Structure 1
Amino acid sequence: MQVLFKSRAPHAGDLRELAQSRLKAALQRLSSRVPRVTVQLSDVNGPRGGVDKHCRLELHTAGAGTVIVRSVASQWRTAFDDALARALRLLPRLLHRLPRRATPLRRLGADAP
């Protein structure tokens, strides 16, 4: 799985390695269905503080298109954790709804024609 990290805020870069490792661990069993994730962190007010840290996760899935999850909090880590928790609740339901293959894959072996 490829994780892209985008942020213009100077202190958000500290979260880069943590975000990548948490995403890879959390989405490990879905890595074949979610080949790429983009993490965008932005600070609306700048250094003034407040509940203005935005985290946006774009999960590019195989078959379900792009899923976007957003979260706003007063700290970077909280915004990221909330967005990841929402994505982990949403993805299994969304991927489960995808239609199954109309024809099953054929087994290749000694008895195959």
Structure 2
Amino acid sequence: MQVLFKSRDPQADELRDVAQRRARFVFRRLGWLAPKAIVQLSDVNGPRGGVDKRCQVEIRSGVAGTVVVASVAHDWRTALDNALSRALRFLVRQWRRGNDKRALRPRAIFLNHAEEQRG
């Protein structure tokens, strides 16, 4: 999986390796589903403090298209972990919707049953 990291904040640049390792770890089993991720870290309020660390994760996927998830927290690591987990849940949900055979089975049975009654 290719992980691109973007940040203008000098403190966030220190997390480049951590962000890339975390993204690869979170999507390790779904690398075929999401071959590219872009992680952006930014400080919303600047040096004023507060809940202002923002992490935006953009996933390019063939199943779900482009998925963009953002999270705001007190520290960089929490914002990163929250954004990655939300993006993972969304991708898994989209993949399961596309591969759910149970949703198609009742319709197929109903159509076959209707054809038998007509014929």
TM-score class, shorter-chain normalisation, is 0.7 to 0.9
Corresponding residue number in structure 2 for 1:43: 43
* Normalised TM-score (structure 2): 0.78
Kindly provide the amino acid, as one letter, of the partner of residue 36 in structure 2: R
Structure 2 residues without counterparts, runs of 5 or longer: 101-119
More helix by share: 2
Q: Kindly report which structure 2 residues correspond to 1:1-113, keeping only aligned pairs within 5 A, or say none.
A: 1-98=1-98
Total equivalences in the alignment: 100
RMSD: 1.4
Identity of aligned residues (%): 57
CA deviations 1:51-87 (Å, max 9, x no partner) are 1111000010013210111100111111111111212
Q: In structure 1, what is the Cα distance between the partners aligned to 2:80 and 2:60?
A: 17
Q: List, as ranges, runs of 4+ consecutive aligned residues in structure 1 with deviation greater than 3 Å.
A: none
CA contact under 8 A between 2:64 and 2:91: conserved in structure 1? no
TM-score, normalised with respect to structure 1: 0.82
Cα distance in 1 between the residues matched to 2:44 and 2:59 = 23
> 1:56 is matched by which residue type in structure 2?
Q
Counterpart code for 1:5? F
- Amino acid corresponding to residue 8 of structure 1 in structure 2: R
Unaligned runs of 5+ in 1: 101-113
